[in-house]
A and B are shown apart, each in its own frame.
Chain A
Amino acid sequence: MTVAMTKRAREWFPALVVLVAGIAIWEGVVKGLDIQRFLLPAPSTIWTSFSDNQGQLWHEGWFTFQEALGGFAIGCTAGAVFAVIVARWTLLGTAFLPYAIAANAIPIIAFAPITNAWFDPLTKTSKMVIAAVLCFFPVFVNVVRGLRSVKPSQIELMRSYDAGEFTVFRLVRVPTALPYLFTALRVASVLAMIGAIVGEYYGGSLDALGANIQQDAALFQFEKAWAEIVIACLFGIGFYLAVVLCERVVMRWQPPVEMVGA
């Protein structure tokens, strides 16, 4: 084992202990206090249900993930494009930005039943729409902020080279905004999963994770509902990590950050 690997293992070790201990305590408390399974099933029973239904669970997770990913792509692209427009034409910014910031602070997820009414609830489209709306605002607000946070001296230097506005945009504003964009994309990846799953609670295809969680809970199949929540977590974490990985690849110039505590 190399020095770096030993160091990394040592950094991760405390977190790993907490995970194992947490599961063990959970198992012990549920078994020891004889907690009813509709309140909280033991990790071992959730695991049994998980392995029994694996094929179906991954299929449901994948279905919901596609909705989240579609909504994420649409919402984030639209957010970034509008941000560029607003940052370029200041008047539009003063007109729209206050509402965007306000929208960022309201629970847009409350609109989930409405999008089900606007679009066929059995299609992926209705969930993509709510996920897209959720993703739009943080990306929009953050990218506007990023494009505007360029240091005046950096612009002044470009002026000394007689660089045009588009060159300044490409070489200075966009790279300055990238860290802001990625912060928003991380948030958006989480919001997209929430949007898709909560949207499905209000009615969706039986291929979908949210519809199944809702139904299994209603039918007292709590172990299966919990197994579906575990799948949702796995896809959610995977999505988030994929965004973090993209961030690392795109912004290689940044100083390395410690994994733990980052």
Chain B
Amino acid sequence: MTSVKIDGVSKQFQGGTVALQDIDLEIEQGEFISFIGPSGCGKSTLLRIVGDLIEPTAGSVTVNGKSARQARRDHDYGIVFQDAVLYDWRTVSKNIALPLELAGWDRERRAKRVAEMLELVELHGFGEHYPWQLSGGMQQRVSIARALSFDPALLLMDEPFGALDEMTRERLNAELLRIWDASGSTVVFVTHSIAEAVFLSTRVVVMSARPGRVSRVIPIELPQPRTAATREDPRFFELATEVREALHMGGSIEEKVVA
């Protein structure tokens, strides 16, 4: 089943900057897709268009067979940003329960769900803490728990681990894969890191800048589940090199083709 269908999407910002040009992409249910590319290639913009937080200038997006707008209204996706975006005045539990509150779940059902989510992101016992009492990595885990609390079929992540140190990032990568495996959701993940993209994804979408385009889609055929050993697999290095070359060639590939 198709989870996300991006059909001829272009985005031109006020002032004329073309952020995205003619993007076509189909994402199957259960896939883990990464968008990678230089700054200004529009990868975050594309993610926001999928989430109906930005409107495309041309083209359309379908999520679970409906328009992106309808999908947003139906709470079909959860989103995680680079900054954890926790509400300082809410405890960890109440932050996780926020989407459930807005969806009208009753108190008992919310409490039960929050307890499950705290277990899932290994924050058991931190429910009554306030965000300032947590480290950056823990805050981001709360943010992931919140995005998954209402069991969305699609998880959108905009450089969620970009602000964290390397060790925390690797640990959260592994944790994210475990959660992805358990939930069966589709994940669309924006990143700057080649290693992260290759380690996590089933396919890596390499983008180029000015205007933002998809320059290559690279399937990552590494065995599942991915573990620490995956990072040392020779195949991992080959794929990382392939992504790196695709990134560096960027737009020049097309010029060669035209010539």
Contact = CB atoms under 8 A, between A and B. Distances in A.
B85 A153 contact: yes
Given A160-B51, A161-B99, A255-B132, A153 B83 contact: yes
Contacts of A34: none
B59 to A, nearest CB: 21
B86 to A, nearest CB: 9
B161 interface: no
B72 A160 contact: yes
A10 interface: no
Q: How large is the interface on A (under 10, 10 to 19, 20 to 34, 35 or more residues)?
A: 10 to 19
Interface in A168-210: 171-172, 175, 178
The secondary structure that dominates the A interface is: helix
B75 A151 contact: no
Contacts of B75: 161-162
A156, A163, A255: most-surrounded residue (chain B CB, <10 A): A156
A25 interface: no
Contact of B79 (A151, A157, A172, A254): A157
B81 A163 contact: no
A38 interface: no
A221 interface: no
A161 B133 CA distance: 26
B102 A161 contact: yes
Nearest to B78: A160
Given A153-B81, A157-B81, A253 B89 contact: yes
A178 B102 CA distance: 22
Contacts of A171: 87, 98
A157 B99 CA distance: 10
Contacts of B98: 161, 171
Interface string B67-108: 000001101011101010101111100000011001100000
Interface of A: 151, 153-154, 156-157, 159-163, 167, 171-172, 175, 178, 251, 253-255
27 contacts: A153-B81, A153-B85, A154-B85, A156-B53, A156-B81, A156-B85, A157-B79, A157-B81, A157-B85, A159-B53, A159-B72, A160-B51, A160-B53, A160-B72, A160-B77, A160-B78, A161-B98, A161-B99, A161-B103, A162-B72, A163-B102, A167-B102, A171-B87, A175-B88, A253-B88, A254-B88, A255-B133
